[in-house]
Amino acid sequence: MCGIVGVFDLEPGEDLAALRRQAVAASSRQRHRGPDWSGVYADDGAILALERLAIVGIQGGAQPIPSTDGTLALCVNGEIYNHRELAAGAPGYAFVGDSDCEVINALWQREGAALVSRLNGIFALALWDAAARRYLIARDPMGVCPLYHGRDAAGRLWVASEMKALVGVCETIEPFPPGH
């Protein structure tokens, strides 16, 4: 299991350094979910933080996982069982690691949100596409991997693997529905 935190719908002129600190603090509340790695990505559109438990791609696979062109940042809690098959069908994408989740970046660039229907596994994910200024949040159909979402007072969307990461940050917190 890993712990993800994502902050989306940032407005121009936001205090990115303060929001980054807030996201890292929220992520640290779920540190027990991932003792192997802590990572953070921040730009003027989104912030992603992850506490990683390394199971597949132990030597690599640090998250957030960037795309080879640097436009995507991806955090995933879970495992993509058919990642080898999906990666074989992604010619031209230069994989940088051996994480089972990196294939999501390759699929996003070719298929957009439709990629989710091709994933066989258990997962909760948050992906930021800086070039398109879009994000994707998804959860496996059975809801094995937990995910919660809420909005803060400024209207920013927050997602996290555990509800406690969002307490004191979001005005309302709800489970992100399985299969969405």
Active site (catalytic) residues: 2
Task: Classify residue 70 by its DSSP letter.
Answer: S
CA proximity to 131, closest of 63, 49, 68, 51: 68
Question: SS3 string of 96-150?
Answer: CCCCCCCHHHHHHHHHHHHHHHHCCEEEEEEEEECCCCEEEEEECCCCCCCCEEE
Map tokens 């940032």 to a residue. Answer: 10
DSSP state of 170: -
Which tokens belong to 119? 């994933």
* CA separation for the pair 106, 9 (Å, rounded): 24
Question: Whose CA is closest to 106, among 123, 83, 125?
Answer: 83
